[in-house]
Amino acid sequence: MFKKIVLFFLFWRFFLFIPLFIAQAFVEFRQGYAYTSPLYFLSDKHSLISNFFLSPWANFDGVYYLLIAANGYTANAGFFPLFPLSLHLTTSIFAPDKSGLPFHSIQYFTALLLVGLYFLIALIALYKLLRIDYKDSVALSTIVFILLFPTSFFFASIYSESLFLLLSVLAFYFARKKRWILASLCGGLLTATRLVGIAIIPALICEFIKGEKTLFKTKALPLFFTILGILSYTWFNLQKWGNAFYFIETQGDLQNNRSVTTPIFIPQTIYRYIKIMTTVSPSHFEWWVALLEISTFIFTVLMLFVAWKKRLRLSYIIFGAVCFLIPISSGTFTGLPRYSLVLFPIFIALALVKSKIIKTVYSIVGIILLFILFLLFSKGYYIA
Report how far apart, in Å, the C-alpha atoms of 351 and of each of 127, 142, 145, 358, 367 are. Answer: 13, 5, 8, 10, 17
pLDDT of residue 92: 84
Could you tell me which residue, 70 or 168, shows the higher pLDDT? 168
112 vs 249, which has greater pLDDT?
112
Res 20 pLDDT > 70: yes
**Across residues 128-157, what is the average pLDDT?**
98
356 burial level (CB within 10 Å; 0-12, 13-18, 19+): exposed
DSSP assignment letter at 29: P
pLDDT band at 98 (very low <50, low <70, confident <90, very high): low
Mean pLDDT of the chain: 94
Q: Please say if the pLDDT value at position 219 is more than 90.
A: no
* Side chain identity at residue 3, one-letter code: K
pLDDT at 114 over 70: yes
| pLDDT score for 262 | 84
The answer to which of 33-37, 46-50, 169-173 has the lowest mean pLDDT is: 46-50
Distances from the Cα of 140 to the Cαs of 78, 101, 251, 356, in angstroms? 34, 40, 36, 15
Confidence of residue 97 (pLDDT cuts 50, 70, 90): low
Q: What is the mean pLDDT of residues 61-73?
A: 93
What is the length of the chain? 384
Q: Give dist(CA 170, CA 187) in Å, integer.
A: 9
Phi-psi region of 158 (alpha: psi -120 to 50; beta: other; left: phi over 0): beta
pLDDT at 42: 81
For position 281, what pLDDT does the model report?
94
Q: Angle at CA 344, nearest 5°, toward 310 and 290?
A: 100
The contacts found for 253-258 with CB under 8 angstroms, 24 or more apart, are 254/78, 256/332, 256/334, 256/335, 257/331, 257/332, 257/334, 258/330, 258/331, 258/332, 258/334
199 pLDDT higher than 70: yes
Written as one letter, the residue type at 206 is C
For position 245, what pLDDT does the model report? 93
The predicted model scores a pTM of: 0.96
| Surface-to-core class of residue 301, CB atoms within 10 Å of its CB (0-12 exposed, 13-18 middle, 19+ buried) | middle
DSSP state of 160: S
Contact at 8 Å (CB) between 30 and 381? yes
Over range 58-70, report the average pLDDT.
Answer: 94
Q: Of all residues in the chain, what percent carry a pLDDT higher than 70?
A: 96
- Cα distances from 271 to residues 274, 299, 304, 346, in angstroms, run 5, 17, 21, 25
Please report the pLDDT score of residue 100 as a whole number.
63
pLDDT at 105: 83
**Taking 70 as the threshold, does the pLDDT of residue 45 lie above it?**
no
User: Helix H segments across the chain?
Assistant: 2-15, 17-26, 61-71, 82-94, 105-130, 136-147, 161-176, 180-190, 200-212, 228-241, 246-249, 266-279, 285-309, 314-328, 336-339, 344-352, 356-378
Of 199, 160, 151, 181, the residue nearest 376 (C-alpha)? 151
Most confident of the ranges 75-84, 88-97, 253-262: 75-84
User: 247-292, pLDDT tens digit by residue?
Assistant: 998 887 666 678 777 889 999 999 999 999 999 999 999 999 999 9
Banded pLDDT at 12 (limits 50, 70, 90): very high
Q: For residue range 349-358, what is the model confidence (pLDDT) as tens digits?
A: 999 999 999 9
